[in-house]
Chain A
């Protein structure tokens, strides 16, 4: 449609403009609790449909937005270091908790995905869904998933986790700050953490921030290994069945 540099720049700045407009509208009453990402994604999809623009055309400019994800993700190390004193207390519970959370998130997705007869490519894309979006997308690329699907799964996870975290943990009578912060950060990443921040539970928020970064790193290391194991197991099972 439009040619060259101008259209690239247009799609690049359009992404930012729409996001900030949506962010403004998400503060208003009827749309409260709706994350701006979902609204801006929907608005852009509708705009592309309305003006009959191909996704690849849009992405020729918007891919530069995605390129910035790398350096911005590296910046996540800063809140980790800022809250590092969390790592010095209750060492055993916290370190084993991180490992346990990363394992459970991957294994439960694989098992339930199999149980619901989901396609393998979709299961693999959903594996890193408890990790914050930029890292989940990177993990998805290395393990052969579909990054776009991963991004959606992660955001849905965050919304669900953020909405129900407090009620769910109360139901199981968990009232200890470390357990709450760690489990919410590990299972529902940034969105869960911000739901804790709304309640001004600063100790929980600090642990949650650290948990979401470290669990992300652990998931990046564990996921490829576990997938190889899983595929080997599936192979053996099919051989045995025959």
Chain B
């Protein structure tokens, strides 16, 4: 009972912290006329506060887990809103889809190759691989699929 009460208190205070951060960052963005979404600023401030332990992690752990698990619901209304803008995209649906699919593949492959090459050049790749082999060996013995 006491534990549940404590958890509820943590959740409520965590929620208040998140709302306050949102409010604060909106005010800052407005005052400084920055071209940045308020939530991004809020996220950066929150990350710094957590990193320097100004806000204890255990206080916000529960609310963050809840917030992240309900995130998908929160953009359902936006998805429904596409019906209002459908006339804008109905003529070039196929080209939009093509752009989305191709750029996703391009971004993914180029980034992976880039990171791979940078790691090769800085010489960090070799020990990495050794570690992988060590990790793989016991798993392979169990017959698991390791590599994706």
A residues touching B (Cβ–Cβ < 8 Å)?
15-16, 18-20, 35-38, 40-41, 44-45, 48, 55, 58-59, 62-63, 65-66, 68-82, 84, 90, 92-94, 96-97, 100-101, 104-105, 108-109, 112-113, 116-119, 121-122, 126, 129-130, 133-135, 137-139, 141-142, 146-149, 151-153, 155-157, 160-161, 164-166, 168-170, 172, 174-180, 182-184, 186-188, 196, 199, 201, 213, 216-217, 220-221, 224
Give the A-B pair count, Cβ closer than 8 A: 312
**A73, A152, A174, A178 interface centre (most CB from chain B within 10 Å):** A73
B:45-66 near A, CB below 8 Å:
46-47, 50-51, 57, 60-61, 63-65
Q: How far is the CA of A219 from the CA of B117 in the complex (A)?
A: 23
**A45, A65, A78, A80 interface centre (most CB from chain B within 10 Å):** A78
A127 CB to nearest B CB, Å = 10
| 15 sample A-B contacts, Cβ–Cβ < 8 Å, listed by A number | A37-B75, A41-B80, A44-B80, A48-B80, A72-B18, A72-B68, A75-B60, A78-B68, A133-B78, A138-B38, A156-B97, A156-B101, A174-B116, A186-B111, A224-B36
- B110 interface contact, C-beta 8 A: yes
Chain B, Cβ-Cβ closest to A132 = B71
A97, B118: Cβ atoms under 8 Å?
A: yes
Known contacts A122-B96, A178-B119: does B77 contact A62 (CB below 8 Å)?
A: yes
Q: How far is the CA of A159 from the CA of B89 in the complex (A)?
A: 20
Q: How far is the CA of A149 from the CA of B111 in the complex (A)?
A: 25
Chain A, Cβ-Cβ closest to B51 = A81
Known contacts A147-B78, A148-B78, A213-B43: does B37 contact A72 (CB below 8 Å)?
A: no
Provide the main secondary structure of the chain B interface: helix
A97, B115: Cβ atoms under 8 Å?
A: yes
- B12 interface contact, C-beta 8 A: no
Question: What bracket does the count of chain B residues touching chain A fall in?
Answer: 35 or more
- B31 interface contact, C-beta 8 A: no
B78, A19: Cβ atoms under 8 Å?
A: no
Known contacts A37-B79, A149-B85, A152-B82: does B67 contact A130 (CB below 8 Å)?
A: no
B residues touching A (Cβ–Cβ < 8 Å)?
15, 18-19, 21-22, 35-40, 42-44, 46-47, 50-51, 57, 60-61, 63-65, 67-68, 70-85, 88-89, 92, 95-116, 118-119, 122, 124-125, 128-129, 132, 147-148
